[in-house]
Structure 1
Amino acid sequence: MNQELLDRLGRVTEEEQRILDGTAGIEKKLYASGEEFTIDYAKLLETGQLITVRTHTRFAHFPMHRHNYVEVMYICQGSVTHIINRKKIRVSRGELLFLNQYTRHEILPAGRNDIAINFVILPEFFDVASEMIGTNNVLADFIVNTLRQDERRGEYLYFKVADVLQIQNLIENMIYSLISQKENGGEPFLLQRMNRINQTTMGLIFMYLLEAVPKAGTMEPDSYENMILMTSLQYIEQNYRTATLTELCAGLCLPSHTLSRMIKKASGVNFKELLQRKRLNKAVGLLCDTDLPVNDIIDAVGYENHSYFHRIFRERYQMTPKEFRNRHRKDSRIRL
């Protein structure tokens, strides 16, 4: 890794200084809301963001916790030890650990020379990567499982890829890009372009990781459920404007109650919610990427009832589509 970037990442943060001074341990309020230690993406991501990065907090034990987002840890220098299902996993320089939503784990104290980056990622960020890597592989299964909300089925992928130069270069470029966005902001069209680049970069990383699957440690859930859910997601991706559960059931030769139950079990949400998420994600892209009137966007993503669209949009983003467009252009933040 570039030494200048490494020095930048290795600076002691305010939180770390308080730990070194003995005045505080891990401050849960910085990461979580409520009594249970579930790290909340709302504490770490700006409104509308799908991904950000932060350096891993050193010098203190991270007690057992989970996340409501996907975490990817990359070790820039030294090593960091996780405990997952009572198993110690020591992740060293150049290696990657993917932790799915709600995977319970704890992290042993890291030293000053142990520098790690945490990618905080919402499942929607992986849409581009999913299209790039296809199906029937361990990473495609992992992307499907990012939708799972069942903590008993926590999953991780651990890749020992320090010797894969392409992955190292792609990761470093992505870290630099995200840190620069975080610190400097930028013009909306530039942020939009960089977000697209970052999503494509993650897809390229996944393609190289597929070659490294023999070097991966995994904990995987049921493959048949994955196949059904992956097929459903592909159908929604390709047909989100007109998709129906009835048509999908016909294609899979399954009764609607059986398929509904399997989708709900595999992803934690039903078919209608998966379709709604895809349509809203496409709508947000059009709001940020184009000057199309809102009503035209509503039609373009498959909603005939405009009032219904406005209601569900407000429920998800706490603002109207027009307010969302104006706010993100004003604040130079664009969600893809």
Structure 2
Amino acid sequence: MRRELLHELMTVSEEESKYRAGQNLIEKQLYSGESIDEIDREKLLKRGRLITVRPHSRFVDFPEHRHNYVEIMYVVQGSITHVIEGKELVMQSGDVLMLNQYVAHSIKRAEYNDIGINFIALPEFFEIPLSMLNGKNVLAEFIIGALRQKNPVSHYMLFRLDNNLQIDNLMENMIESMFHEKNGSSGYDIMNQYSMGLVFLYLLNHLEDLSHNSSMDYKETIVQAVLEYIDSDCRNANLTKIAEDTHQSVTVLSKLIKQRTGSNFQELLQQKRFSMAVKLLLDTDLSVEDIALDVGYENQSYFFRQFKSRYGMTPRKYRIEHGNVK
């Protein structure tokens, strides 16, 4: 991050000076009209604006609270610790935490070098980012949950990004523009909507870095869909097709499969094909050649080599030793 901007972000505010001097209670009037239990967007957002940024206040514990807006925290340096649903989430430099409306969470005391930036946004800010996502995916579901006027979905996601350069640059640009915007510059919201849309597109290519997701384990759901797809059509299954069906890139999907199962797509597919081949050998009168075709191998010699490598014998001998000779 540019040195001058980082210096601004690290400057101790008047509010922080009180906490640093020993005040243990949050300055409630800065965040809410009544109780700190629910932080009010009208205290933080200028009238007519869709988004703003605010450095996280250091030197004090924030008690459990909710927001009537969407919050995205980006850690510039150091660490910030959130507690959500009893789970302690320690954010490091470069991490992104997305909190939908009404997610209950608390934040542990941050020190001088712990710099977190809160993007405070109305749900309608995300209409343009949603249009850029083009399809059903975990980020689109997050935005749709935020846009629900009745019963918005309480939902959070934490991406552990280890200082992704593209995302860091986009975040810095948005922080810079909102910190130094000129009064009456209505174009800032639109520029930041497109910038946030680009952040979301980059995040879609880093779903393997999605560490926590409260509404559902999205990675597990994706991998389960892959396994069901292989089970249902092992003869024709291919990674490109399932990537298109699940709205993932082939690279990201490959990483998710390996991360969750310990095997790559081709290994899982072969396991299923040979499992099916064994079943057909034992339960049917089909020739070995027909079985190879049925499970997806047109190259007969390759099928024979792989079968012998896995089971230590030819398909015909396996049939004789483990089943009834037909």
Bucket of the pairwise TM-score, normalised by the shorter protein: 0.5 to 0.7
Aligned pairs for 1:229-308 (under 5 A) are none
In the alignment, the residues of structure 2 paired with residue 162 and residue 192 of structure 1 have an alpha-carbon distance, to the nearest angstrom, of 33
**Would the alpha carbon gap of residues 154 and 129 (structure 1) be closer, same or farther in structure 2, given more than 3 Å must change?**
same
Residue type at the aligned position of 1:215: D
**Are residues 1:178 and 2:169 paired?**
no
In the alignment, the residues of structure 2 paired with residue 214 and residue 141 of structure 1 have an alpha-carbon distance, to the nearest angstrom, of 17
1:210 to 198, 204, 215: 204
Partner of 1:100: 100
2:191 to 183, 191, 197: 197
User: Residues 298-317 of structure 1: CA distance to partner in whole angstroms, max 9, x if unpaired?
Assistant: xxxxxxxxxxxxxxxxxxxx
In the alignment, the residues of structure 2 paired with residue 54 and residue 27 of structure 1 have an alpha-carbon distance, to the nearest angstrom, of 15
- In the alignment, structure 1 segments of 5+ residues that lack a partner are 224-336
Partner of 1:115: 115
Q: CA deviation at 1:34?
A: 2.2
Q: CA deviation at 1:147?
A: 3.2
Q: How many pairs align?
A: 216
Deviates more, 1:87-96 or 1:157-166: 157-166
In the alignment, the residues of structure 2 paired with residue 131 and residue 43 of structure 1 have an alpha-carbon distance, to the nearest angstrom, of 29
Q: CA deviation at 1:194?
A: 2.7
In the alignment, the residues of structure 2 paired with residue 196 and residue 36 of structure 1 have an alpha-carbon distance, to the nearest angstrom, of 31
Q: CA deviation at 1:24?
A: 5.2
SS at match of 1:81: strand
SS at match of 2:11: coil
* Identity score, percent: 45
SS at match of 1:74: strand
Does the CA contact (< 8 Å) of 1:97 and 1:158 recur in 2?
yes
Partner of 1:271: none
Partner of 1:84: 84
In the alignment, the residues of structure 1 paired with residue 81 and residue 209 of structure 2 have an alpha-carbon distance, to the nearest angstrom, of 18
Partner of 1:33: 33
Does the CA contact (< 8 Å) of 1:130 and 1:140 recur in 2?
yes
In the alignment, the residues of structure 2 paired with residue 114 and residue 26 of structure 1 have an alpha-carbon distance, to the nearest angstrom, of 18
SS at match of 1:47: coil
**Would the alpha carbon gap of residues 163 and 36 (structure 1) be closer, same or farther in structure 2, given more than 3 Å must change?**
closer
In the alignment, the residues of structure 2 paired with residue 63 and residue 23 of structure 1 have an alpha-carbon distance, to the nearest angstrom, of 14
Partner of 2:156: 156
Residue type at the aligned position of 1:40: D
User: Residues 259-296 of structure 1: CA distance to partner in whole angstroms, max 9, x if unpaired?
Assistant: xxxxxxxxxxxxxxxxxxxxxxxxxxxxxxxxxxxxxx
Residue type at the aligned position of 1:212: H
**Are residues 1:219 and 2:214 paired?**
yes
Partner of 1:284: none
User: Residues 53-96 of structure 1: CA distance to partner in whole angstroms, max 9, x if unpaired?
Assistant: 11100011000000000000010110000000000000110110
Residue type at the aligned position of 2:214: M
Does the CA contact (< 8 Å) of 2:93 and 2:163 recur in 1?
no
**Cα-Cα RMSD:** 1.8
In the alignment, the residues of structure 2 paired with residue 78 and residue 23 of structure 1 have an alpha-carbon distance, to the nearest angstrom, of 23
In the alignment, the residues of structure 1 paired with residue 192 and residue 146 of structure 2 have an alpha-carbon distance, to the nearest angstrom, of 18
In the alignment, the residues of structure 2 paired with residue 130 and residue 104 of structure 1 have an alpha-carbon distance, to the nearest angstrom, of 24
In the alignment, the residues of structure 2 paired with residue 121 and residue 142 of structure 1 have an alpha-carbon distance, to the nearest angstrom, of 14
User: Residues 80-117 of structure 1: CA distance to partner in whole angstroms, max 9, x if unpaired?
Assistant: 00000000000110110000000000000001100110
Does the CA contact (< 8 Å) of 2:95 and 2:163 recur in 1?
no
Does the CA contact (< 8 Å) of 1:28 and 1:37 recur in 2?
no
**Would the alpha carbon gap of residues 64 and 99 (structure 1) be closer, same or farther in structure 2, given more than 3 Å must change?**
same
Does the CA contact (< 8 Å) of 1:69 and 1:100 recur in 2?
yes
Partner of 2:2: 2
Q: CA deviation at 1:36?
A: 5.8
In the alignment, the residues of structure 1 paired with residue 154 and residue 190 of structure 2 have an alpha-carbon distance, to the nearest angstrom, of 29
Residue type at the aligned position of 1:42: E
**Would the alpha carbon gap of residues 222 and 123 (structure 1) be closer, same or farther in structure 2, given more than 3 Å must change?**
farther
In the alignment, the residues of structure 1 paired with residue 216 and residue 208 of structure 2 have an alpha-carbon distance, to the nearest angstrom, of 18
**Would the alpha carbon gap of residues 14 and 163 (structure 1) be closer, same or farther in structure 2, given more than 3 Å must change?**
closer
In the alignment, the residues of structure 2 paired with residue 22 and residue 117 of structure 1 have an alpha-carbon distance, to the nearest angstrom, of 23
Residue type at the aligned position of 2:206: A
Q: CA deviation at 1:136?
A: 1.2
SS at match of 1:154: coil
Q: CA deviation at 1:163?
A: 3.6
Partner of 1:168: 168
